[in-house]
Amino acid sequence: MSSSKPAVRYQDIRRNIAKIRDYLLLGGGLERVLREQGVAYDAIRMCFLEISEAAIKLGALAELHEPAIPWTAIRGFGNHLRHTYDEIDLTAIERATADLARLDAACGRALALLEREESPKP
């Protein structure tokens, strides 16, 4: 089932990406955040959970808008964070962080597409 508010879901993803970037900056960079696993690490994990949940709520619409993005993996990452929190692979967070720019750009394109579809036709 797809979200009845896809624009909101894409905005949620983009907002969480921006927050992850801020937490990485404030936390002294990815290497330090992963090594120390403090507040910034916890905040980043929460942002990834929200990104995953927004992707779940987008449903198949996400694949239609941006088929090159690994939406299944994004949805599954939330499960991984929730259920294997005690054995989380730090390289999984590192890989997910490395893909944020691509995901952010994809959500921007999807939002632009939705805006064009919703704007009144002359």
pLDDT in tens, 18-37: 999 999 999 999 999 998 98
- Provide φ and ψ at 67, rounded to 5°: -65, -20
Q: How confident is the model at residue 3 (pLDDT cuts 50, 70, 90)?
A: low
| Token pair recorded at residue 20 | 């992850």
The rounded mean pLDDT for the chain is: 91
Q: What is the DSSP letter of 86?
A: G
Give 61-109 pLDDT, tens digit per residue: 999 999 999 999 999 999 988 887 677 778 889 999 999 999 999 999 9
14 Cβ contact list (under 8 Å, min separation 6) = 104, 107, 108, 111
What DSSP element (H or E) covers 24?
Answer: helix 6-26
What is the reported pTM?
Answer: 0.90
